[in-house]
Amino acid sequence: MTDRRTGIVHVGVGAFARAHLAWYTQRADGAAWGITAFTGRSPDVADALTAQDCRYTLVTRAADGDTASVVDTIVAAHPGSDDAAFRAAIAAPETTLVTLTVTENGYRAGSDVPTRLVAGLDARRAAGAGRISLMSLDNLTHNGSVLRDAVLGAVDDDALRDWIGEHVTFPSSMVDRITPATTDADVEGLARLDGALPGDRVPVITEPFAEWVIEDRFDGIERPAWETAGARVVDDVTPYEQRKLWLLNGSHSLLAYLGLQLGHETVADAMDDPTCRAAVEQLWDEAALELPLPADEIAEARAALVDRFANPRIRHTLSQIASGGSEKLPVRVVDVLRHRLARDPSAGIGPGAATLIAAWWLHVTTQPALVNDPGAPGAGSDVHDVLAVIAPDLDTTPVVAAVTAAADRIRAGSARASEGVPA
């Protein structure tokens, strides 16, 4: 039996939630909080966790080796299809937090996630269990507002809508920790790793770096003291969301599309290429001018990203990052460009942004087998088709010229790379 308070219900328990939310919660000072976890519809992770008392190994993979620790924050794991257990967990008076990692699709029309949350909140209202916070941990800008809108959009009872308005808060949060998929070799390697849970079948592999910035919108609702574990609680997460999107996510997209053009497979491979590294630095220079954060904090974030990207033991494939560019590029690079032009209409498109857009154009037109993006233009697309998808208002002569020139440079570099000549 656990002595943890079962105060958190988590929806979508996968590797990231176990490397991030559960890890922070375990390390927080004060009362020991526990997580009642619900998977997606598949029961596999819930069954595997339950078979080992919901304990698992967290393997921190640094460039110089692995370290292992056992995480025991999850106190119960259920398949997402167990609606009765889900409603009961949210209705329980000791529950004060519901957290989610359900990907972007979980908030879109047609998803059953908001409907399930509304059913749980209705059960909580009926139980008279009091106020509660719902917090997204997904990689969405203003994810608290996105979650609130999704929940309220699923409510068809005016009285319940009013109750939610009075009893539920929706803090936004920014999360960051690279968590690659666990392989069979990772599981087999646990036997040689001190600190690992014996017989663990569902370990999690993650990088040493972790970050969590949380909007302070709990309004007295109880929560773990996550700030004692390194989280930052702030009034407004917007600058930190922008920092992550424009520095980390933007450079990830650049490394993916440019790196694939130059024959690379992983982030570490691409970051080791001087051509890719120089383009990343240009992109970061452009983003730094628009970020509303102190210069030393931006410099520190850039240095940390160089170390993270260069870690060869975190195998982050470029093909995985390359998916969904039609949705990712508007917030990762076009947003920066719009800020740049609003600040200085004569600034034009920077070389970093031009290279990223050009690399995506070449990706979708010359590497169709690698494209996983329903919104992308087709293989015969020109630069105008590309801009029509991600930034139709920026289809101007200077932008088109800069992107076209960047594409020509990438083609030349790709040709040299295929001949074995450094790009």
- Output the pLDDT for position 84: 97
Q: Are residues 281 and 192 in the same domain?
A: no
- Output the pLDDT for position 422: 59
Q: Are residues 185 and 264 in the same domain?
A: no
Positions in the chain whose pLDDT score sits under 50: 1
Indicate the residue among 236, 259, 275 that finishes a domain.
Answer: 236
Q: Which helix (H) or strand (E) holds 240?
A: helix 238-243
Q: C-alpha angle 235/249/134, rounded to 5°?
A: 40
Q: Are residues 255 and 381 in the same domain?
A: yes
Are 153 and 117 within 8 A, CB to CB?
Answer: no
Q: Are residues 151 and 256 in the same domain?
A: no
Q: Which domain holds residue 105?
A: 5-236
Q: What are phi and psi of 98, to 5 degrees?
A: -120, 125
Q: Rounded CA gap, 202 and 240, in Å?
A: 32
Q: What is the pLDDT of residues 26-70, one digit of tens each?
A: 999 999 999 999 998 778 999 999 999 999 999 999 999 999 999
Q: Are residues 365 and 354 in the same domain?
A: yes
Which residue reads 């988590």 in tokens? Answer: 10
Helix 383-390 / helix 397-418 crossing angle, nearest 10 deg: 110
Length of the chain: 423
Q: Which candidate, 331, 341, 338, 383, places its Cα nearest to that of 360? A: 383
Q: What is the pLDDT of residues 238-270, one digit of tens each?
A: 999 999 999 999 999 999 999 999 999 999 999
Specify whether the backbone of 293 is left (phi greater than 0), alpha (psi in -120 to 50) or beta. beta
- Output the pLDDT for position 345: 93
Q: CA dihedral in degrees (8, 12, 17, 18; nearest 10)?
A: 90
- Output the pLDDT for position 1: 44
Q: Which candidate, 224, 219, 221, places its Cα nearest to that of 31? A: 224
Which sign does the torsion angle of CA 124, 125, 130, 136 carry? positive
Q: Are residues 254 and 232 in the same domain?
A: no
Q: Which candidate, 278, 279, 283, 253, places its Cα nearest to that of 267? A: 253
Q: Are residues 207 and 172 in the same domain?
A: yes
